[in-house]
Structure 1
Amino acid sequence: MQVIIDSQPLTVAILAALFFGESIGAIGAGGLVLGVVGLLLLEVPALSVEGSNTSVWGSGEWWMFLSAQSMAVGTIMVRWVSKYSDPIMATGWHMVLGGIPLLVISVLNHDPALNGHIQELTWSDIVALGYTSIFGSAVSYGVYFYNATRGSLTTLSSLTFLTPMFASIFGFLYLGETFAPEQIGGALLTLVAIYMVNYKSIIGEK
């Protein structure tokens, strides 16, 4: 699933080319494809084949795919939104408005957090939630969408390839997880892929 959600730079590249005339060349395009391959290698140990026959709407992969496309469209739309609103303000409103349906669903599903169990949270739980809310969501998305208003959208979006790689590194450091050889290879491929996507910018600065 992580491969699906972090493959959205491919959609961003297509949309950026259609609406803004961005072009990253053959090397950049090859980097995007190589980035997806690197993600696949990073996720190999977690992949499993399920024999159950579920509907499309009951498939986690399908919802992840739709989420990736939504993120890609949002990345493109911020260029137009920033003409009428500050990108940081727009990011804040999109998080507030996006959180309302989740709150409603939580209430309808009788989420335990809304039924008196919130007092069971420890201080470490509260700190973790605070960090996730502030730095993992508000700050990170604010910086992301702010930078999406300038420069290459494809180049910026390619940096999301780093998400599973950092997750694997911190899992190794703090959770005692180990790397399989193919995961190490996937991480290296991901770094090469990001360099390829940014190749034109790097050469232009020299």
Structure 2
Amino acid sequence: MEAQKNINSSFWNPIIYVAPFFLWGTAMVAMKGIILETTPIFLGALRIFPAGILVLMFVGRGKSVQPQSLKAWGWIFLFALVDGAMFQGFLAEGLLRTGAGLGSVMIDSQPLLVAILCRWLFKDMIGFWGWLGLGVGIMGISLIGLPDDWIMSLVEGNWGAFYFSWEGLFNNGEWLMLLASLSMALGTVMIPYIGRHVDTVLATGWHMVIGGLMLFILSGVTETNQWVNISFSGWLSISYATIFGSAIAYGVFFYLASKGNITSLSALTFLTPVFALTFGGLILGEKLSFLQWGGVSLTLVSIYLINQRTLINQKWQNLKSNFPWLNVNEKIN
């Protein structure tokens, strides 16, 4: 019986860890497909407000206690502002100006920000192999998302083209995606603090409800004709982004964040653009270039380096003990 339990655990654990990033990647494709039928802030609100209600209904069936203190509610409101309203608002506005795959790439630069914040706040040591993995991951998502002509101009030393292309990127919404990335990184590192005062899944539900209300208010003030042009297929896309891309994905992600190593979990975010680009190509016709496929490969390598860094380091130390000439100074925290 115990052996069967271990088999089941080893089978489901990778699926559970990958699920949020698959759902986020495909939700980006669903949102991009509907973005022209509605308005961005309203779409951001629609994605998280109903999802928050679903999460609260699910948690309400268990034994989770509602927030009891002003400090708990204070953390939830801050979480709602940063990871709810700001993240979804920047994401939706940026998605209006860029593709699903490229937007996902820009957002998913956040593991490096998480690693730096965790190093500063929690003394979370990721070591040489972890930092190497993060560096490879940044290279990977850069190859996936940056224009090929920009990359070739850099290789050729054409810095004038580099500046022009950089300016063009910011005019096309990628900077909004980077702001979304920063918002998500800040929300992720809040989790250990929030977990001291309230159940993290419960806080996830409330932060989506409150953040959604903030976006609904902002949409009411700044946007018009939010829902009149949404088709039936559009409502199906919104439902998918809400239920699977928010309620389930957020609940699983923040539950795992409260139980494990934040840096390792966040590093799996590099999978999100892989899923977004794959399904963006299949559904929206977004194509990958040779350089972008190279970026996908580097992204997968980075995930392996970061999440297997302890095992890799053990094997490296064993190898160095057998071959002393391999000893180098690699004391990177």
TM above 0.5, one fold?
Answer: yes
What aligned pairs does 1:55-134 form with structure 2 within 5 A after superposition?
60-113=173-226, 117=228, 120-134=229-243
CA separation of 1:88 and 1:51: change in aligned 2, threshold 3 A? closer
Task: Tell me the TM-score normalized by structure 1.
Answer: 0.84
CA separation of 1:172 and 1:83: change in aligned 2, threshold 3 A? same
Q: 2 CA distance for matches of 1:59 and 1:51? A: 9
Q: Match for 2:124 among 17, 22, 31?
A: 22
Q: Match for 1:194 among 303, 306, 331?
A: 303
1:141-176 superposed Cα distances (whole Å, 9 cap, x missing partner): 111111111221110001111111111111232334
1:34 aligns with 2:147: no
Q: Does the CA contact (< 8 Å) of 2:106 and 2:145 recur in 1? A: no
- Counterpart of 2:25 in structure 1 is none
Query: Which residue type is aligned with residue 96 of structure 1?
Result: V
Partner SS for 2:146: helix
CA separation of 1:75 and 1:171: change in aligned 2, threshold 3 A? same
Q: Match for 1:138 among 247, 251, 255?
A: 247
- Counterpart of 2:269 in structure 1 is 160
- State the structure with more CA Rg: 2
1:49 aligns with 2:162: no
Structure 1 runs not aligned, ≥5 long:
none
Q: Structure 1 residues 140-149 or 167-176, which shifts more?
A: 167-176
1:6 aligns with 2:6: no
Q: 1 CA distance for matches of 2:287 and 2:182? A: 31
1:26-46 superposed Cα distances (whole Å, 9 cap, x missing partner): 111011011011001111348
Structure 1 position 121, deviation (Å): 3.2
Q: 2 CA distance for matches of 1:71 and 1:149? A: 15
CA separation of 1:51 and 1:15: change in aligned 2, threshold 3 A? closer
The higher relative CO (CA closer than 8 Å, separation ≥ 6) is in 1
Q: Match for 1:151 among 260, 263, 268?
A: 260
Q: 2 CA distance for matches of 1:202 and 1:168? A: 30
Query: Which residue type is aligned with residue 288 of structure 2?
Result: F
Structure 1 position 23, deviation (Å): 1.2
Aligned residues: 198
Structure 1 position 59, deviation (Å): 8.0
Q: Structure 1 residues 42-51 or 151-160, which shifts more?
A: 42-51
Q: Structure 1 residues 177-186 or 27-36, which shifts more?
A: 177-186
Q: 2 CA distance for matches of 1:102 and 1:125? A: 20
Q: 2 CA distance for matches of 1:10 and 1:50? A: 20
Structure 1 position 182, deviation (Å): 0.6
Structure 2 runs not aligned, ≥5 long:
1-101, 151-163, 316-333
- The alignment yields a C-alpha RMSD, in angstroms, of 2.7
Query: Which residue type is aligned with residue 263 of structure 2?
Result: T
Query: Which residue type is aligned with residue 94 of structure 1?
Result: H
Partner SS for 2:269: helix
Task: Tell me the TM-score normalized by structure 2.
Answer: 0.54
CA separation of 1:7 and 1:177: change in aligned 2, threshold 3 A? closer
1:85-136 superposed Cα distances (whole Å, 9 cap, x missing partner): 111110111111111221112111242126xx1xx53322211111101111
Query: Which residue type is aligned with residue 43 of structure 1?
Result: G
CA separation of 1:27 and 1:76: change in aligned 2, threshold 3 A? same
